[in-house]
Amino acid sequence: MKIAVFGAAGWTGRAVLENLAGKHDVYAVDHNAETWNTWRDIDGDWNGGPIINCDIVDYHAVSKTVQDMDAVIHLTVYFPGTDHAKACVDHNPFLINAKGLWNVLDASHRQGVKRIVHVGSCGVAHPDGCFFESDIRRPDYSLYAVTKRLQEEMCRQHHEGLGQSIIVLRPCYIVDSRLGIGRYREKLGPDDTHAAPGWVCRHDLAEACRLAAEIGAVQFDILHVTGMPEDEKTCNVARGRKVLGLTYRADLEQYRQSPST
């Protein structure tokens, strides 16, 4: 398949590119050349297919990018700061997270793209104690949480209104079990950040993205993708494994806190 990966230069994007390499024709899409500098020291340069510079807020640029694609994996995300005053005047959370995804969904529909995979985010334990199935929405309130919730609802509405084939994946906190670091480059382990509910290795999440793009039987679903065994008690990660045929390969247990501490 011809697959466009939006947000390809990011923490998850680089793992998705690695996973797709040699299996599909991959088109790595990100805002500009500078975005590739963030993880170049860890992931090196991407040489497995074309690199496309595209402003996701520009509808016509997005439409041109998805033309002739069989699938799109959407990873682009903007993380607003925690300063409320600055957040109130920052247009990027809605422009990039909401308008950007709308552009991808609408342009993909009009261009006949067969499958959209959207990586959202969600907690693994609902504060009211109810089981996190696909129809249970994230209840937390922050600018980031609200825009991610809007993204998920947009996918749901787009499927119900237009019949587009979409799978939404819900990771919580994304780490790299091979390197022993988190997405903020913090060290994982007993002396720093201990393994916790909701963790998923970016390489397992990348595998989930590929499988979601390839699977033909599912027209729409929303699935938790987390690598900690205790998460099965609180969210539909087991269903995600079954639907996608996903095997988690990361060793996250090595980062558990030592029982002696």
192 band by pLDDT with thresholds 50, 70 and 90: confident
pLDDT at 260 over 80: no
Tell whether 18 is covered by a domain: yes
Tell whether 260 is covered by a domain: no
Tell whether 229 is covered by a domain: yes
Domain CATH number, residue 141: 3.40.50.720
State which H helix or E strand residue 43 sits in: helix 40-43
What pLDDT is attached to residue 82? 83
Please give the Cα distance from 227 to 250 (Å, whole number): 8
pLDDT at 258 over 70: no
What pLDDT is attached to residue 246? 98
Helices and strands (H, E) in the chain, number of each type: 9, 10
Helix pair 202-214, 11-20: axis angle to 10 deg: 50
Which positions ≥6 away from 241 have C-beta within 8 Å?
A: 247, 248
pLDDT tens digit sequence for 163-191: 999 999 999 999 999 999 999 999 999 88
Tell whether 261 is covered by a domain: no
pLDDT tens digit sequence for 133-152: 999 999 988 899 999 999 99
What pLDDT is attached to residue 259? 56
Given CA atoms 177, 178, 184, 190 in this order, what sign does their dihedral have?
positive
Distance linking the first and last C-alpha atoms of the chain:
49
Mean pLDDT, residues 65-74:
98
Tell whether 223 is covered by a domain: yes
Give the single-character DSSP code of 109: H
Percent of the chain exceeding pLDDT 90 equals: 91
Q: How many domains is the chain partitioned into structurally?
A: 1
Percent of the chain exceeding pLDDT 70 equals: 98
Whether residue 70 contacts residue 117, with contact meaning beta carbons closer than 8 Å, is answered with no
Pair type for strands 181-182 and 2-6: unpaired
pLDDT tens digit sequence for 31-53: 999 999 999 999 999 999 999 99
- Look over the chain and give the mean of its residue pLDDT values, rounded to a whole number: 95
4: nearest Cα among 77, 78, 65: 65
Tell whether 23 is covered by a domain: yes
The boundaries of the domain holding residue 167 are 2-255
Q: Please state, in angstroms and as integers, the Cα–Cα distance from residue 132 to each residue in 72, 140, 145, 196, following that order.
A: 26, 13, 16, 17
pLDDT at 153 over 60: yes
What pLDDT is attached to residue 84? 84
pLDDT at 81 over 90: no
Alpha helix (H) ranges present in 113-248? 143-162, 202-214, 237-244
